[in-house]
Structure 1
Amino acid sequence: MAEFKLDYVNSFYDARGKLRHQFRRKGHKRVTIKGRPGSPEFMDAYHALLERTGGPLSVADIGAGRTKAGTIDALIVGYLKHDAFKKGLASATQAMRRPILDHFREFRTPSGRRYGDNRLATIQPKNITALLEGKTSNAQKNWLKTLRHLIAFAIAKGECTVDPSKDVKPLKAIKSSGHMTWHDPQIAQYRERYGLGTTARLALELFLNIGARRHDAHLIGRQHLRGGNLTWRPHKTLRSTAKVLTIRVMPALQAALDAMPQGDALTFLVNDYGRPFKSAAAFGNKFADWCNAAGLKPVLCDDGRVRNYRAHGLRKAACKQLAHAGCTGPEIMAVSGHSTLAQVQVYIDEVEQERMAGSAMDKRSAAEAKTATGSD
C-alpha cells in the first residue's frame, strides 16, 4: 500500500491482486491515478485532481482549531500558511509534503503522547529515528527533506535552535538507475509504430532533440521558435537558477513539425481534441499509452523494481546521445539544463566505459587471434 496517506486517495488491491490508487472526493467522479504514490507522475496527477475538485484541504481542516500556541501543531499550521511553503515549494511538492507533516504531528511516543502536542525543542534525534522506522530508503529521504524544511522555518522563527534531524541518516538502498533509458531498438520500435504527422511521433522527436523534461515538453510551442531555435525557461529551475535555454531545431524534429497538420493551439503537442494537454500528468499518461501501444515491454531492473519506457527515459537518451557524439559536460548541460556537472557526468562515464570496454575486447580478440595463428 501507499507509504503515506494522501487526502481523498483510497489504495486497494483489485480482484487480480493489483494495487490501485483511486481519488475519491464527495460530489466528484472517482478517478484511478496511475503510478506510485510520491512519484512525480503520481503527484502531478493528484495535484491536478485536487485543483479540479476544489483545491487541497484548508488549514482549518487539518486541525488548526485544536492547536495550542508553541506546539508542533501550531508550528505546522503557521508553516502551511507561510510563503516558505506556499510560494517556496512547487505545487506537487506541497501535495506530497502535507500528508507527511500530518503524520509527523499525529505520531505518538511510547507513552502515547502525540508529537503535535509537544514543542519542537523537545524533539530529539531518537524521536526522528522512531518516526522513520519501517519506511523504505526513498520514503525516509522524503520525510527528512520535509522535516528539515519545517525545522529550518522553526529556527528562523526562534522556536528552536538545533535541528534534531541533523545527524539522522536514511537507509542506504541499492543505487537505482531511475527511469529506463531508451536505446536504439526502443526508439526504432516506437518510430515504426508512429509515423511523421502524428503527435506521438512529434513527442518522441521533441524529447530526443532538446532533452526537455515532461513539464516543459507539453508547453513548448510556436511562441518558443526564434530563428531556427527553441528558446524557453525550464519549469524546474524557475525558483533557483531561472536559466533560459536556446537550442537549435535539428532536422529530425523539423521534419516532425513540418508533417503536423495546422491547428490553432500554440503548443506543439495536443490531445485527441486538438487542444493543449491540461497538465504534465495528462500528457505523461497519454505518452505512456503510446509506449504501451508501441509494444514497449516493462523491464526488471537491478534494484528489483519493474520499470517501463516513459518520457523521462528519452531525456536520458538525449543526454547519452550527446555524450556519444563527444560533447563535453558543459555542452550537455547547455542542452539539458542540468545545474551541476555531476548530474551529466553520469552519461559521460557510461559512454566512456562502453568505449574503453570495447577497446579492451578488441585488443583481447587481436591477442587471441595472434595466439591461434602462432605468430610472434
Structure 2
Amino acid sequence: MTQIDLRYVSGRTNKSGKTLYYWHRRGFPLTRLYGDLQSLELAEQATKLNLAADGGGLKPAGDTVQDAEPARKNSIGWLIDDYLASNTFASKAERTRDDYRYYLGQIKEMFGDAPIRDLEPPEGRVFIYRFINRFADKPRKGNHFRALFSVICSHALLINKLKSNPVDGVPQLSTKPRQQFWTFEQEETFLATCDDEMIQLAFMLGAYTAQREGDLLAMVWSQFDARENTLALRQNKTGARLLVPVHRTLRASLDRTPRQGLTILTTRSGKPFREDYFRHRWRDAILQAGLDGLRFQDLRRTAVVRLAEAGCTDPEIAAITGHSLERTRQILETYLPRTPEMARNAMAKWESKPGTRV
C-alpha cells in the first residue's frame, strides 16, 4: 500500500470563509485539490502528485495534473498552457523553466479564467501596472511577475492573440542591489564551525570557482582534470563553456574528498543533492556559524571582488566567472571597496611605469 504523502499541501480561505486546499511545490504549477484535508480523496491526489514529481513522471508544463480541467480556449490559462508547450519554453535552461513554471502557475491560478483580450492595452497595461505595484514591499517578486507577464504577452503576439505587449511602458519596481559579500574573517568562522564536510566543500567550490549553485551541485568528478588542475564546465544558465583553473585552496579540499558518487557534492548516501535538501543543510551550517544573512549566491559575487583585489583585469575575471564584461564591470562598480591600500598600489604602478618623471 502506498504511504500517504501530504507534502506541499496548504489551505487558503476564500472570501466566503471556505478553506480550499492546494498542492504548491516550487517548479510546478499551483494545483487545486478537491476534498477535505482529512479525506482520502485529497490524500490520494497529493500522494499521486508527489510520487510523480519525485520520480520525474509529472510533466509540469501547465497542463498540470491528469484530472485537472483543461483551460478554456483564449483564456489567460490557455495562453500559459500554450506557451509552456512551445519550443521557446523548452529551449530555456532547466532552472529558468522551473522559475517560469512557479510564477506562471501563480498567474494562472489568479487570472487563468480571464480572457486574453483583457490584456490588450491600454486597459491591460493599467491592470498589469496595478498588479505589479501590489509588490512594492517585495520588488524582486513583483519584477518577476512583470517579466513573466511580458513573456506570455509576447507569445500572445506571436500567435495573433494580442496586437501589442501591454507590459511595454510598465516600469520595473525599484530594487536595491544586494550588498552582502563574504569577508575572510567570515569565511574562517564558517569553516571553523561547520562540521559538515560536504557543505565545507560546497563553500570551497563556490568561493574559489565563482560558479552558480546549480552548476556546482551538478558537477561530476570527470569535469575535474587533476593533471591539468582545471574544472571544465558548461554553465546551465548561459550555456557558456569555461575551463577554470583550480585554486590551490580548493585543490587541497578536492584531494582529500573521497569519491562517493558520480557528482563531486553528494549526500551521505552518495547521491546527488536535490536543491532543496542542499539549501536545508547549508542553512543549518550558516546558523551554526552565526552568519545569518549570508547566502551561498554571495560567494560568486565575493569571488569577483577578490579577483579584482588581486589585480585581475575584467576580461580575466570574466574568463573564470562566465559573466559578460559589462556585468563584470557592474559588479565591481557596485561592490569593489575603494581602500587606501588600492590607492597606494595604483600610485606605485603609476610611478613604476617607464617614462614616468621622478
TM-score, normalised by the number of residues in structure 2: 0.72
**Which residue pairs with 1:101 in the alignment?**
107
Question: 1:165, 1:202 → 2: CA distance?
Answer: 43
1:75 matches 2:69: no
Deviations along 1:311-339, one digit per CA (max 9) or x if unpaired, are 11222221111011011222111111113
1:115 matches 2:114: yes
Identity %: 21
Contact 2:209–2:303 (8 Å) recurs in 1 = yes
**Which residue pairs with 2:242 in the alignment?**
245
In structure 2, relative to structure 1, the CA distance for the partners of 1:72 and 1:189 (3 Å cut) is: closer
Deviations along 1:98-129, one digit per CA (max 9) or x if unpaired, are 223314525xxxxxxx6337454465322222
Spell out the pairing of 1:357-376 with structure 2 (5 A cutoff).
Answer: none
1:232 matches 2:233: yes
Contact 2:217–2:265 (8 Å) recurs in 1 = yes
Contact 1:245–1:335 (8 Å) recurs in 2 = yes
Spell out the pairing of 1:123-134 with structure 2 (5 A cutoff).
Answer: 123-134=123-134
Q: Compute the displacement of 1:205 (Å).
A: 1.7
What SS is found at the alignment partner of 1:149? helix
What SS is found at the alignment partner of 1:247? strand
Counterpart selection for 2:252 from 243, 251, 255: 255
**Which residue pairs with 1:330 in the alignment?**
315
Q: Compute the displacement of 1:217 (Å).
A: 1.3
CA RMSD in angstroms comes to 3.5
Question: 1:22, 1:158 → 2: CA distance?
Answer: 32
Contact 1:59–1:77 (8 Å) recurs in 2 = yes
Question: 2:340, 2:106 → 1: CA distance?
Answer: 45
**Which residue pairs with 1:368 in the alignment?**
none
In structure 2, relative to structure 1, the CA distance for the partners of 1:116 and 1:86 (3 Å cut) is: farther
Question: 2:167, 2:86 → 1: CA distance?
Answer: 22
Q: Compute the displacement of 1:165 (Å).
A: 1.7
**Which residue pairs with 2:294 in the alignment?**
309
Q: Compute the displacement of 1:63 (Å).
A: 6.9
Matched letter for residue 255 of structure 1: A
Q: Which has the higher contact order (CA 8 A, sep 6+)?
A: 1
**Which residue pairs with 2:171 in the alignment?**
169
Contact 1:212–1:336 (8 Å) recurs in 2 = yes
Contact 2:213–2:296 (8 Å) recurs in 1 = yes
Q: Compute the displacement of 1:280 (Å).
A: 2.9
Deviations along 1:200-244, one digit per CA (max 9) or x if unpaired, are 32222212221111111122232012321111101111xxxx221
Q: Compute the displacement of 1:349 (Å).
A: 5.3
Contact 1:202–1:269 (8 Å) recurs in 2 = yes
Deviations along 1:168-188, one digit per CA (max 9) or x if unpaired, are 113324x1316x311111101
In structure 2, relative to structure 1, the CA distance for the partners of 1:282 and 1:28 (3 Å cut) is: farther
Question: 1:333, 1:146 → 2: CA distance?
Answer: 28
Matched letter for residue 281 of structure 2: K
**Which residue pairs with 1:220 in the alignment?**
219
In structure 2, relative to structure 1, the CA distance for the partners of 1:325 and 1:117 (3 Å cut) is: closer
Matched letter for residue 103 of structure 2: R
Counterpart selection for 1:26 from 5, 22, 43: 43
Question: 2:44, 2:343 → 1: CA distance?
Answer: 61
Question: 2:45, 2:287 → 1: CA distance?
Answer: 29
Q: Compute the displacement of 1:149 (Å).
A: 0.7
Spell out the pairing of 1:189-208 with structure 2 (5 A cutoff).
Answer: 189-194=189-194, 198-208=197-207
1:351 matches 2:345: no
**Which residue pairs with 1:188 in the alignment?**
188
Unpaired runs of 5+ in structure 1? 1-6, 13-20, 31-46, 107-113, 299-307, 360-376
Question: 2:81, 2:62 → 1: CA distance?
Answer: 10
What SS is found at the alignment partner of 1:169? coil
**Which residue pairs with 2:147 in the alignment?**
145
Q: Compute the displacement of 1:353 (Å).
A: 2.2
Deviations along 1:246-276, one digit per CA (max 9) or x if unpaired, are 111121111111222x334122222122332
What SS is found at the alignment partner of 2:243? strand
What SS is found at the alignment partner of 1:59? coil
Question: 2:130, 2:333 → 1: CA distance?
Answer: 40
In structure 2, relative to structure 1, the CA distance for the partners of 1:117 and 1:351 (3 Å cut) is: closer
Q: Compute the displacement of 1:348 (Å).
A: 5.2
What SS is found at the alignment partner of 2:134? coil
Question: 1:65, 1:276 → 2: CA distance?
Answer: 36
Contact 1:329–1:341 (8 Å) recurs in 2 = no
Matched letter for residue 95 of structure 1: R
- Number of residues of Structure 1 aligned to a counterpart in Structure 2: 302
Contact 2:79–2:116 (8 Å) recurs in 1 = no
**Which residue pairs with 1:367 in the alignment?**
none
What SS is found at the alignment partner of 2:174? coil
Matched letter for residue 52 of structure 1: D
